[in-house]
Amino acid sequence: MASRLLEAIFSINPNHPQTLRGFANYRLKAIRETDAFADQVTVNLSELLNSCEYVSWGMIDVGEPLSILPTVTLMDYVATDIVKHSSYSMRAKLIKSIALADIGMVR
């Protein structure tokens, strides 16, 4: 359920992929025109990153790697572009590559 909730964030803008497979090679540049993460009192970015990672690993563990692609795309965007945290950025890329390998899109 958490992965579906995080996936819903991308429905704000029709420029985002509309299918789960569409997130396989998608690099998020912005969620919307205004900065969705400007108010860091409302959105705790470290908790968001931790939650995205937890949900992603959990979905991989239960055999749903395709479902985590939007979640890990959001994690990568926040880690790389918003907070510029190299460790979380690498974790997001690692999780995404594992998920893509699990669904057969990477060998």
- C-beta separation of 58 from 95 below 8 A: no
Q: What is the pLDDT along the chain (107 residues), one digit of tens a residue?
A: 566 666 666 666 667 676 767 777 777 776 655 566 666 667 788 998 999 999 999 999 999 998 888 899 989 988 998 889 999 999 999 999 999 999 888 77
Whether 68 and 6 have beta carbons less than 8 Å apart is answered as: no
Q: Are 3 and 71 in contact (CB under 8 A)?
A: yes
Q: Which two tokens stand for residue 41?
A: 């009192």
